[in-house]
Amino acid sequence: MSSDVLLSVKDISILSEDRQCNIVDTISFDVMEGSIHSIIGPNGAGKSTLGYAIMGVYHPCSGKIFFKGKDITDLSITERAKRGITLAWQTPARFDGLSVYDYIGVGVKDKNLIEQRVGEALEIVNLDPDIYLKRKVDANLSGGERKRIELASVIAMRPKLVILDEAEAGMDLIVLESFMDIFNKIKELGMTILLITHREDIGMVSDNSTLIWDGKVLANGPFRDIMVLYCQKAGLKKICSRTLFNQFDECIDKIIEEDTRENKI
Amino acid sequence: MKENTKYNMHRFIGKQIIDEIQPWFEFSSSLPWDERSPPWVFDNKVRRQILVILSESPLTFEEIIERVLFKPAPLIITKEEYEPKIIYEWDKRTIENHLFNLEWYGLVKKNVDKYEINFPILNKEQLDDVENYVIKFAENWVKVIEESKEEILNKYQGLHKNTPIMDIIIEKIIEKLWETLKKKGLVPNKPNLKHLWGEQLRKTKFNEWVSKNFK
Amino acid sequence: MREKSDSSQILNSLEKYNLDISDYLPSHSGPKLVLNFNKITTVSEVEGIILKGREIENGIIADIVIKEGTVLEDPIHLCFGVNKETGLQEIFPRIIAEDNSSVTLQAHCSFPNAKNLTHKMFGHIYVGKNCKFVYNETHYHGEQNGATVAPVSYVYVGENSYFENNFFLTQGTIGRMKIQIDIYAFKDSIINSNVKAFGKNSLDSIRVRDAVFLEGENARSIIKMKAAAIGGGEVMMFGITEGNAANTTGHVDCTEIVKDRGSRCRAIPLIRATDDSCHITHEASLGKVDSAQLNALMARGLDEDEATDLIIKNML
């Protein structure tokens, strides 16, 4: 992780559709280049709205967004994508007739590299290219498959900043661990991740976090510190600590070991 | 399924003869939007075929089923070269559904145990004979139109040059013809909607009451 | 195998559209009928089918009979083309697939030089019992919006048979096109009808009527109509399903995309039932491309036009 700020969000506010209230209210935070930065908060806190605003889907009513030091607040989705920002959608769209190969390759700038990048990306998300390349990005894909393909399309593009909007939504516990490996691989490829999640176990991969509550920032800082605050705010009876997270990891390991023994995996 | 409720009586049948534009008026066709004639009934070839075979003579249900089946044949391959063996038959329930539909729209009716056409059918000979009268009427119209045409075109010259003024006039002639024939009792007495539509009647009654009490 | 020689200029025009014409050449052993205007240039039968055509003033009458029990691995290729710029072509095909047969019919209609050309087709397809019949029709109308094309087909699908209809009109310009296909489905049969069309400019007008009448118990159907009207083009899709027998199910799906000022589209799914045990559904959507799809592609660097073109191209 470098010490350069890649993305800087300054006092962003976004109004609801009926303009009655702020979904996101004067939010500020910075994302360091090469890091995984998570946006944590409960359902309805405004996390996804914030992510879409950074991508350009929503326009903030006030505030600024800077990317690599340049003001991108008024740029379109396409312009932001060309500068190196992309988003993996929480509910990825399905396309009639569009092949997995074409969808994953659509963001690759150098057309000579499409085949190589698409193959690599599918392998990173643990999908067999021989099976999936010819399939269509339509209703015949399961939710999990569609999510992985969405991640693959982001990986193949090699942007500077990847916004992952609840990439883990709908995944079971066993699959989650492989997702966290994928996040780390994305980071290894030189991309910065803005991870939007309401799950503390997913947020564990992040270097820094921003805690959002009712559209406002409660805190910015290292993930562990943010988690303590989150649990306190959420009124959890357990105390979130390093001990608890270690216990969580041990529990997962135990399940995997048992299932391997019983040939379930 | 046939409808035999009181609302059946208020179904609009026949030419519209009310002055005021009704709420169901459809501007694209200047007709009520609900079905005045059953176009979709004729959309299905099987129903058309049932009407064709009934036009020859009334038939029982079983006879209709037998007559409706058909065997396709090629256009130019002769029977000696090859004769296909496909037969298409309809089951009783399906034919029953078709007949219900035709009965509901008044195209077919059941007389004891036989179904018959419920609208006049002209055979080729009669159709040719009717054509003589049609020609006679048309020729007389043409004579009148020829005499007045110049006067009409001069009078309406100011209209856009593409306005089909003669089309409009001919359409209105037909409307007027019906109206006049009806007044003279020369056509069957179709129910007048003014007396059937409660809404219209209520409005008339209300206006009368208002006039009586408040003016 | 009976065969007339001569390759046709029509085949060359198909090549221009990157279509593999090897199946149409006289040297190919598969069954085919190739027509240039009203001249039959190639007829090739195989065991189990009878292909007979008669030239008429402006086209042909053709009989195609697939005998009982015939299972054809190779599709039967029909190439109805006109190389001229103007004129009228009329085709009257009658196709009979007897019981227990399986066949794919691949029809190409090519009018590469059409400036003021009319093509009319009035055809019947009769499918027997326990058959599998796939009918693929693709059209190429050149680049000058000069074709007026009006095919009408009546199809009867016998008991326990599967009928699939794929109509694609996605290359070149369309001109004026009015398609009608009425399918009568008997007991336990399955109908799968797909129409894809693309109006490219203000001289293109496409009107499609795809109707399925479910006339036998347990008959099932799905009609999918997809179209795009761009550059001022007009598209109208009329999808009808009528259930007249017990326990029939049907679905009509019309999807149309409109792009550019002046483009017009209409989707009219019509469902009707005269039996109380039918289950018939419809869905229709038209207008601009789904914003979720657009945003997904724009977030990968495509601009709106590129994203729309990609979506339409793959949809069709």
**pLDDT per residue as tens digits for the range C215-250:** 999 999 999 999 899 899 999 999 999 999 999 999
| pLDDT-based confidence at residue B191 (cuts at 50, 70, 90) | very low
Euclidean distance between CA atoms B6 and B53, whole angstroms: 32
Residues of chain C found within 8 Å of residue A81, distances taken between Cβ atoms: 298-302
pLDDT tens per residue, range C150-181: 999 999 999 999 999 998 876 778 899 999 99
pLDDT at position B204 is: 62
| pLDDT-based confidence at residue C9 (cuts at 50, 70, 90) | low
Q: In b/e form, how buried is each residue of B154-187, taking b as 16+ CB within 10 angstroms?
A: eeeeeeeeeeeeeeeeeeeeeeeebeeebeeeee
Residue C122 forms contact with B (CB below 8 Å): no
Amino acid at C18: N
Residue B177 C-beta-side C-alpha neighbours within 13 Å:
8
The answer to whether the CB of C243 falls within 8 A of the CB of C220 is: no
From the list C52, C68, C216, which residue is nearest B77 (CB)? C52
What six digits make up the tokens of C255?
Answer: 């999807």
The answer to whether the CB of C207 falls within 8 A of the CB of C180 is: no
Burial degree of B104 (CB within 10 A; 0-12, 13-18, 19+): middle
Model ipTM value: 0.85
pLDDT at position B32 is: 61
Residue B105 forms contact with C (CB below 8 Å): no
| pLDDT-based confidence at residue C5 (cuts at 50, 70, 90) | very low
A81/C296 CB distance under 8 A: no
Q: What percentage of chain C reaches a pLDDT higher than 90? A: 50
Residues of chain C found within 8 Å of residue A89, distances taken between Cβ atoms: 292, 295-296, 299
From the list C292, C299, C311, which residue is nearest A81 (CB)? C299
Shortest Cα–Cα distance, C274 to chain B (Å): 6
Euclidean distance between CA atoms A232 and A230, whole angstroms: 5
What mean pLDDT, rounded, does chain A reach? 84
As a whole number, mean pLDDT of residues B67-72 equals 92
Which of B146 and C278 is assigned the larger pLDDT?
Answer: C278
The answer to whether the CB of A230 falls within 8 A of the CB of A239 is: no
Helix/strand/coil for A55: helix
CA-nearest residue to A157 within chain C is: C300
A97/C316 CB distance under 8 A: yes
From the list C255, C290, C304, which residue is nearest A93 (CB)? C290
Residues of chain C found within 8 Å of residue B78, distances taken between Cβ atoms: none
Q: Which of A48-57, B20-29, C72-81, C307-316 has the highest mean pLDDT?
A: A48-57
CA-nearest residue to B97 within chain C is: C274
C94/B45 CB distance under 8 A: no
pLDDT at position B163 is: 62
| pLDDT-based confidence at residue C3 (cuts at 50, 70, 90) | very low
The answer to whether the CB of C50 falls within 8 A of the CB of C37 is: no
Strand order in the sheet with C234-243: C49-56, C59-66, C86-97, C116-127, C147-157, C176-185, C205-214, C234-243, C264-273
Alpha helices, DSSP H only, in chain B?
A: 45-56, 61-68, 92-104, 124-155, 165-183, 193-196, 198-214
pLDDT at position A139 is: 83
Euclidean distance between CA atoms C65 and C206, whole angstroms: 31
Residue A97 forms contact with C (CB below 8 Å): yes
pLDDT at position B189 is: 57
pLDDT at position A21 is: 77
Quick one: DSSP state of residue C22? G
Query: Chains touching chain B at 3 or more Cβ pairs under 8 angstroms?
Result: C
Helix/strand/coil for A108: coil
Residues linked to residue C173 through DSSP beta bridges, in sequence order: none
Which of A121-125, B119-123, C209-213 shows the lowest per-residue confidence on average (mean pLDDT)? B119-123
Q: Which of A195-199, B34-38, B98-102, B152-156 has the highest mean pLDDT?
A: B98-102
What six digits make up the tokens of C252?
Answer: 């009509």
Q: Which residues contact A167 (CB under 8 A, 6 or more apart)?
A: A88, A90, A147, A150, A151, A179, A183, A195, A197
pLDDT at position C6 is: 35
Burial degree of B69 (CB within 10 A; 0-12, 13-18, 19+): exposed
Residue B188 C-beta-side C-alpha neighbours within 13 Å:
5
C296/A107 CB distance under 8 A: no
Q: Which of B195, B205, B210, B184 is nearest to B18 (CA)?
A: B195
pLDDT at position B28 is: 63
B84/C98 CB distance under 8 A: yes
From the list C68, C186, C275, which residue is nearest B88 (CB)? C186
From the list A97, A102, A107, which residue is nearest C301 (CB)? A107
What six digits make up the tokens of C289?
Answer: 């491309």
Burial degree of B196 (CB within 10 A; 0-12, 13-18, 19+): middle
Residue B209 forms contact with C (CB below 8 Å): no
Residue A57 forms contact with C (CB below 8 Å): yes
CA-nearest residue to C100 within chain B is: B86
CA-nearest residue to C293 within chain A is: A93
In total, the C-beta contacts within 8 angstroms joining chain A to chain C are 60
Residue A138 forms contact with C (CB below 8 Å): no
CA-nearest residue to B81 within chain C is: C50
From the list A91, A99, A157, which residue is nearest C300 (CB)? A157
**B–C touching, 3+ CB–CB pairs within 8 Å:** yes
Residue A179 forms contact with C (CB below 8 Å): no
H or E, element range at B29: none
What six digits make up the tokens of A174?
Answer: 């066993």
As a whole number, mean pLDDT of residues A28-33 equals 94
Residues of chain A found within 8 Å of residue C296, distances taken between Cβ atoms: 89, 92-93
pLDDT at position A172 is: 63
Euclidean distance between CA atoms A255 and B60, whole angstroms: 74
| pLDDT-based confidence at residue B66 (cuts at 50, 70, 90) | very high
From the list B1, B43, B74, which residue is nearest C65 (CB)? B74
Q: In b/e form, how buried is each residue of A135-158, taking b as 16+ CB within 10 angstroms?
A: ebbeeebeeebbbbbbbbbbbbbb
Shortest Cα–Cα distance, B81 to chain C (Å): 10
Which of A124-133, B136-145, B206-215, C149-158 shows the lowest per-residue confidence on average (mean pLDDT)? B206-215
State chain B's maximal CA–CA distance in angstroms. Answer: 89
Q: Which of A125-134, B3-12, C97-106 has the highest mean pLDDT?
A: C97-106
Alpha helices, DSSP H only, in chain C?
A: 9-16, 291-298, 304-315
Q: Which of A152-166, A175-189, B31-45, B147-161 has the highest mean pLDDT?
A: A152-166
Evaluate if residue B75 carries a pLDDT over 50: yes
pLDDT at position C282 is: 93
C interface residues, A as partner, C-beta within 8 Å: 226, 255, 290, 292-293, 295-304, 310-311, 314-316
Residues of chain B found within 8 Å of residue C61, distances taken between Cβ atoms: 75-76
Helix/strand/coil for B20: coil
Shortest Cα–Cα distance, B200 to chain C (Å): 31
C244/B45 CB distance under 8 A: no
pLDDT at position A10 is: 95
Q: In b/e form, how buried is each residue of C211-223, taking b as 16+ CB within 10 angstroms?
A: bbbbbbbbbbbbb
Residue C275 forms contact with B (CB below 8 Å): yes
The matching CATH number, chosen from 1.10.10.10, 1.20.910.10, 1.10.3720.10, 1.10.238.10, for B39-117 is 1.10.10.10
pLDDT at position B194 is: 39
pLDDT tens per residue, range C27-63: 666 787 887 777 787 778 888 999 888 888 888 899 9
pLDDT at position B182 is: 77
Which of B23-32, C122-131, C195-204 shows the lowest per-residue confidence on average (mean pLDDT)? B23-32
Residue B77 forms contact with C (CB below 8 Å): yes
Q: Is the dihedral of CA B7, B12, B18, B22 positive or negative?
A: positive
Euclidean distance between CA atoms B208 and A30, whole angstroms: 77
C298/A76 CB distance under 8 A: yes
Residue B104 C-beta-side C-alpha neighbours within 13 Å:
18
Amino acid at B79: K
Domain ranges of chain B: 39-117, 124-184
Residue B82 forms contact with C (CB below 8 Å): yes
Strand order in the sheet with A85-88: A85-88, A161-165, A192-197, A36-40, A208-213, A216-222
Which of B193 and C299 is assigned the larger pLDDT?
Answer: C299
Q: Which of A184, A173, A178, A183 is nearest to A254 (CA)?
A: A173
Amino acid at B169: I
Shortest Cα–Cα distance, A73 to chain C (Å): 15
The answer to whether the CB of B12 falls within 8 A of the CB of B34 is: yes
| pLDDT-based confidence at residue C134 (cuts at 50, 70, 90) | very high
pLDDT at position C159 is: 97
**A–B touching, 3+ CB–CB pairs within 8 Å:** no
Which of C168, C300, C304, C308 is most worth mutating to test chain A (most A CB atoms within 10 A of its CB)? C300
H or E, element range at A188: helix A173-188
Question: In Å, what is the CA distance from B73 to each residue of B69, C173, C308?
Answer: 13, 37, 48
Which of B206 and C75 is assigned the larger pLDDT?
Answer: C75
Shortest Cα–Cα distance, A82 to chain C (Å): 5
pLDDT at position C315 is: 81
Which of B12 and A61 is assigned the larger pLDDT?
Answer: A61
Taking each continuous run of H as one helix and of E as one strand, the counts in chain A are 10, 10
Euclidean distance between CA atoms C169 and C141, whole angstroms: 9
Q: Determine how β-strand C59-66 pairs with β-strand C49-56.
A: antiparallel
The answer to whether the CB of C120 falls within 8 A of the CB of C88 is: yes
pLDDT at position C108 is: 83
| pLDDT-based confidence at residue C80 (cuts at 50, 70, 90) | confident
Cβ atoms < 10 Å from Cβ of C9: 15
What mean pLDDT, rounded, does chain C reach? 87
Euclidean distance between CA atoms C249 and A30, whole angstroms: 57
As a whole number, mean pLDDT of residues B158-181 equals 75
Q: Which of A252-256, C41-45, C77-81 has the highest mean pLDDT?
A: C77-81
